[in-house]
Amino acid sequence: MSETFAALDVASRQYRLLDALDPAGVDGLLVTTLTNVRYLTGFTGSAGIVALTSTGTTLVTDGRYRTQAAEQVAAVGLADHVTIVIGGAEAQREALQAALDGADRVGLEADHVTWAQATAWEERLGRPPVATSGLVEELRAIKDAGEIDRMRHAAQIADAALGEVLPLLSRAGIDPISESTFALALDSAMRRRGAESVAFETIVAAGENSAKPHHHPSDRLIAMGDPVVVDFGATFEGYRSDMTRTFCVGGQPTGALKEIFDLVATSQAAGVAAVQPGVSAGSIDDVCRGVIVEGGMGERFEHSTGHGVGLDIHELPWVASQGTAILEAGTVVTVEPGVYVAGVGGVRIEDTLVVTSSGAEPLTRFTKEVAA
Ligand code: ZN
Ligand code: ZN
């Protein structure tokens, strides 16, 4: 692969996190969420904790990751900035305790720590930890150029994979294929094109199943005239894409189904057009929901309009009614209104967009042509 990507600016993340500590009422932070550990250090192992204070950053993990941790921290340019301690559970706790020695108020990631863990840390540190929420997650909501390059590439992999397997849907009327077989073909096409994994479990929902927003692909055969919701994404170097297209097998939809397709397409286009710097996430939900309410289907749009995407498939900001986060350049959000009518079918259309200084760039670019 000849494509080159901008470097990930990992070092500046730690400085921005340090700036966020005082407003959160802490002078040290224990980062126990693995995705956040990765974001701050480049380390992708399945076990690891970071202690961060103004005097330094310590990463602890166990012997399985001795080489990997050193390599990954060096790869993001932090070999001189992050102290890596390898050892068993007790040695790790001692190292973290020592790293936090000068911090009177140690924050824990309250959204991800159990009661038992918080109690154990209080005993270990000899002082009560402070509950913090979303400190790293709020930094993650704004992507740097290297992150956007990787997300764009993940989206390109997904677009190309769908293009490759779409003929299987077009032929489904004469050459039957099940939801799960189509999902498997799509997943393997993404892997062959360089995805390290799927971004989440692929949704393929045909006919009556399309009315269930998060249907699990089954052995139901896809038939002529079926609406088919395909919601999927690729992961590339940790970064995920997310896209939904709804097709109609064998031609254009008719009747009540056509009305749903048209309404969701109008709603989604309006939402995409509204994504720009300076607007609230909630206003995107208002725009999409307004079109569907106007079309008399408000109570059939039962989920929020979208979400942030990045190292996690669902992350800040939430694109939901009352969402107060303000979009700014580097924010990545999905716009995915849907209408689901039991007995008729469901339609969802979703794109992932990155907010730019003047508007938004869609990362997912697959055609919205309905006829498959
Ligand atoms: Zn999706
Ligand atoms: Zn989504």
Q: Mind listing the pLDDT tens digit for each residue in 311-351?
A: 999 999 999 999 999 999 999 999 999 999 999 999 999 99
* Rounded distance from Cα 339 to ligand 1 centre (Å): 14
Whether 5 is in a domain gets the answer no
| Angle subtended at Cα 170 by Cα 165 and Cα 176, rounded to the nearest 5 degrees | 90
In a domain? residue 264: yes
Ligand nearest to the CA of 314: 2
How far is residue 158's CA from residue 274's CA, in Å, rounded to a whole number? 24
Q: How many structural domains compose the chain?
A: 2
Write down the mean pLDDT value for the chain: 97
Q: How far is the CA of 167 from the centre of ligand 2 (A)?
A: 24
Among the bound ligands, the one closest to the CA of 203 = 1
Stretch 266-292: mean pLDDT, rounded? 98
| 295 and 346 together in one domain | yes
Domain of 39, in residue numbers: 11-139
pTM to 2 decimals? Answer: 0.96
Q: What are the pLDDT digits (tens) for 52-74? A: 999 999 999 999 999 999 999 99
pLDDT at 147: 98
Q: Identify whether the C-beta of residue 182 lies closer than 8 Å to the C-beta of residue 37.
A: no
How close is the Cα of 150 to the center of ligand 1, in Å? 18
Distance 199 CA to ligand 1 centre (A): 9
Q: Taking Cα atoms as reference points, which of 172, 328, 346, 334 lies closest to residue 256?
A: 346
Identify the three-state secondary structure at position 104: coil
Residue 368, in any domain of the structure: no
Residue 370 lies in a domain: no
Is the pLDDT at 255 greater than 70, yes or no?
yes
Residues 92 and 233 occupy one common structural domain: no
Ligand nearest to the CA of 245: 1
Contact criterion met (CB below 8 Å) for 316 and 309: no
To the nearest whole percent, how much of the chain has pLDDT over 90? 98
Residues 192 and 218 grouped into a single domain: yes
Residue 334 domain-assigned (yes or no): yes
The tens digit of pLDDT for each residue in 170-206 reads: 999 889 999 999 999 999 999 999 999 999 999 999 9
| Helices within the chain (DSSP H only) | 10-21, 34-41, 66-75, 89-99, 115-125, 135-140, 145-170, 179-192, 255-274, 281-294
Farthest-apart Cα atoms in the chain, separation: 71
Same-domain status, 154 and 302: yes
* Helix, strand, coil percentages for the chain (3-state, nearest 5): 40, 25, 35
Task: Give the span between the Cα atoms of 122 and 37, in whole angstroms.
Answer: 21
Across the strands, what pairs with 82?
Answer: 57
Average pLDDT of span 247-266: 96
DSSP 8-43: P-HHHHHHHHHHHHGGGT-SEEEE--HHHHHHHH--
Same domain, 134 and 152: no
We report the CATH number of the domain holding residue 19 as 3.40.350.10
Average pLDDT over residues 279-301: 98
CB 353 within 8 A of CB 330: no
pLDDT at 170: 93
Q: Find the range with the poorest average confidence among 3-7, 160-164, 324-328.
A: 3-7
Which pLDDT belongs to residue 20?
A: 97
Q: Are residues 234 and 109 in the same domain?
A: no
Q: What's the CATH number where 236 sits?
A: 3.90.230.10
Q: Which ligand is in closest contact with the Cα of 214?
A: 1
| CA 333 – ligand 2 centroid, Å | 9
Tell how far the Cα of 225 is from the centroid of ligand 2, in angstroms: 25
Do 105 and 155 reside in the same domain of the chain? no
- Residue 180 sits at φ, ψ, to 5 deg, of -70, -35
Ligand at minimal distance from the CA of 315 is 2
Q: Ligand 2 centre and the CA of 346: distance in Å? A: 16
Q: How far is the centre of ligand 2, averaged over its atoms, from the C-alpha of 334 (Å)?
A: 6
| pLDDT score of 158 | 98
Please indicate, yes or no, whether residues 220 and 338 belong to a single structural domain of this protein.
Answer: yes
pLDDT of residue 133: 97
Segment 71-90 mean pLDDT = 97
Cα–Cα distance for residue pair 272/289, rounded to 1 Å: 13
CA–CA separation, 341 and 344 (whole Å): 5
CA of 178 to the centre of ligand 2 (A): 23
Phi, psi of 328 (to 5 degrees): -140, 170
In percent, how much of the chain has pLDDT > 70?
A: 99
**Quick one: pLDDT at residue 2?**
53
Same domain, 168 and 126: no
> What ligand has the least distance to the C-alpha of 246?
1
Looking at all shown ligands, the one closest to residue 201's CA atom is 1
16 Cα: distance to centroid of ligand 1 (angstroms):
30
pLDDT at 3: 75
pLDDT classification of 280: cutoffs 50, 70, 90 = very high
Three-state DSSP at 78 gives coil
Rounded Cα distance between 302 and 285, Å, is 12
Asked if residue 1 has pLDDT above 90, the reply is no
**Which ligand is closest in space to the CA of residue 334?**
2
User: Which of 139, 167, 184 corresponds to the end of one domain?
Assistant: 139
pLDDT of residue 173: 86
Average pLDDT value for residue range 29-46: 98
pLDDT beyond 80 at 366: yes
Q: How many angstroms separate the alpha carbon of residue 295 from the centre of ligand 1?
A: 23
